[in-house]
Structure 1
Amino acid sequence: MAPPHGDKSAEVKEEAAAAVSSVDNRPISTILFIVEALPLVKKFQLTEDLNSVFPKGVPWVRFYGNYKGLTVNIVCPGKDPALGVDGVGTVSASLVTYASVQALKPDLIINAGTAGGFGAKGASIGDVFISSEVAFHDRRIPIPVFDIYGVGSRKAFATPNLLKELNLKVGKLSTGDSLDMSPMDEASIIANDATIKDMEGAAVAYVADLLKVPAIFVKAVTDIVDGDKPTPEEFLENLVAVTAALDQTATQVVDYISGKCLVEL
């Protein structure tokens, strides 16, 4: 239906809707993986970017190449310059995501990584989840409206056909900057109705939402948070095997995406 004569706002809305529809119906061309580690580099036969697209001095590492008609970029935070440990957490994740989207213009973001799972919500070691929704559990701001902002709940990009094809589990993801879980964090995670918890997902979602890039979250369970083993011990014990499961599922996700449009996922 044509907008009423002289209704510029309606015209703008129609043009915007047409642009979105055009993008949704265009085959996915460029994928951006935001990851903690790099097992997928060999799987996709990617090359390290030695002439970095990122600012000089940052530790972020990018691998890139073509796989089944897709331009695949894998970016990880790299090592902390001072301490040499992996750059985990929400600050690194948000910075890397922002810089990568600006430089690489992806059609889709995939945040692939490990997570703690809750046995009470049906999670087991080695399970791979697609997150339906993400939120923070350690940004407590007990002031009206700021409290909602702190939680920062966001829907992940919906992929019903992908879920059906790969028969993956679905659960809500809660993000915080600590590996352990304090009683206050636990209460927030329960309020978030989360099945899994990690240290970067909601930060990636925040940036993806700001920049209007669809994002999906693929998380493999390394430890049962509400189980009887200490989290660091169980995480390290299962890391290698669970990373292999994540590698396999992430490859299946990309195989499914190849040749499809966003609306087909």
Structure 2
Amino acid sequence: MAPHGEGSEEAMVVQDENRKPISSILIVIAMQTEAMPVVNKFQLKEDLDPVFPKGVPWVRYHGIYKDLHINLVWPGKDLTLGVDSVGTISASLVTYAAIQALQPDLIINAGTAGGFKVKGACISDVFLVSDVAFHDRRIPIPVFDLYGVGLRQCFSTPNLLKELNLKAGKLSTGDSLDMSPQDEASIVANDATVKDMEGAAVAYVADLLKVPAIFIKAVTDIVDGDKPTAEEFLQNLAAVTAALDQAVAQVVDFISGKCLSEL
């Protein structure tokens, strides 16, 4: 346990940070299709002198909107196969590198997700996530099991939730688009309304480096519905990305001119 004075000093620093106007936000997005509408919305420019290590495919766009410095990063295309570098490993790496290079005040992880109709999710619903956890890191050893789930609360934004009338729900993350019976049991245990392939990894890095993070997820497919997940995801991706873009724009507008404690 820290000495009383040291703990009090740390608490005061956190309070001061929460009262400072937000000036820099980092938007982390997994896919180019999801990223480009946001890039165009805020007229962001691609970084031609990258802050990332030489040779990595990660992409950064940046610009100023109102009083905010906006950086948007996505992991780019796989160098061998040319597809979006989705999943937890790419998300955690690019988030870590971006925090180190850009020192944001706040992270927004925005993206599409599968939703569960049993929890009230519908196609194009946009959720502001309250909690995140993993569903495919099963380690059946005491305490390691909790580490595997990696449950984390997202940064609390009650005013944002109320003002924009977004839905709230818990997010479960895994590295597969489909859902095995073991994953399903873990997702139920996580009480998740939506599932994705990046969120909990971004949350882990944000927590590690003590940067507040919020998560905005738009539903492309109903995991417990009648249609094959991959088919429904591709069918709805464009339309749902438009809903995601609108929600991100509203969130950024709400954040502008505020400090963390006002969210």
Query: Residue 260 of structure 1 aligns with which residue?
Result: 258
**1:96 pairs with 88, 94, 97, which one?**
94
Query: Residue 227 of structure 1 aligns with which residue?
Result: 225
Superposition pairs of residues 7-22 of structure 1, within 5 angstroms: 9-22=3-16
**1:190 pairs with 188, 197, 202, which one?**
188
Segments of 5+ residues of structure 2 without an aligned counterpart are none
Name the CA distance, whole Å, in 2 between partners of 1:202 and 1:19. 26
Name the CA distance, whole Å, in 1 between partners of 2:97 and 2:205. 10
With the length of structure 2 as denominator, give the TM-score of the two structures. Answer: 0.97
> 1:21-63 CA distances to partner (integer Å, 9 max, x unpaired)?
1110000010000002322001001110010000000000000
Name the CA distance, whole Å, in 1 between partners of 2:100 and 2:11. 23
Task: Find the residue that maps to 2:3 and give its secondary structure.
Answer: helix
Q: Percent identity?
A: 74
Name the CA distance, whole Å, in 2 between partners of 1:121 and 1:20. 35
Query: Residue 24 of structure 2 aligns with which residue?
Result: 30
Query: Residue 243 of structure 1 aligns with which residue?
Result: 241
Query: Residue 136 of structure 2 aligns with which residue?
Result: 138
2:78 is aligned with 1:80: yes
Name the CA distance, whole Å, in 2 between partners of 1:205 and 1:264. 21
> 1:158-210 CA distances to partner (integer Å, 9 max, x unpaired)?
00000000000000000000000000000000000000000000000000000
Aligned partner of 1:192: which letter?
Answer: N
**1:212 pairs with 210, 213, 227, which one?**
210
Aligned partner of 2:50: which letter?
Answer: S
Name the CA distance, whole Å, in 2 between partners of 1:72 and 1:44. 8
Aligned partner of 1:154: which letter?
Answer: R
Shift of 1:15: 1.6
2:59 is aligned with 1:61: yes
Name the CA distance, whole Å, in 2 between partners of 1:95 and 1:236. 26
Name the CA distance, whole Å, in 2 between partners of 1:14 and 1:118. 43
Name the CA distance, whole Å, in 1 between partners of 2:224 and 2:138. 22
Segments of 5+ residues of structure 1 without an aligned counterpart are 1-7
Name the CA distance, whole Å, in 1 between partners of 2:8 and 2:137. 38
> 1:55-110 CA distances to partner (integer Å, 9 max, x unpaired)?
00000000000001100000000000011110000000000110000000000000
- Cα-Cα RMSD: 0.8
Shift of 1:13: 1.7
Stretches of 4+ aligned residues off by more than 4 angstroms: none
With the length of structure 1 as denominator, give the TM-score of the two structures. Answer: 0.96
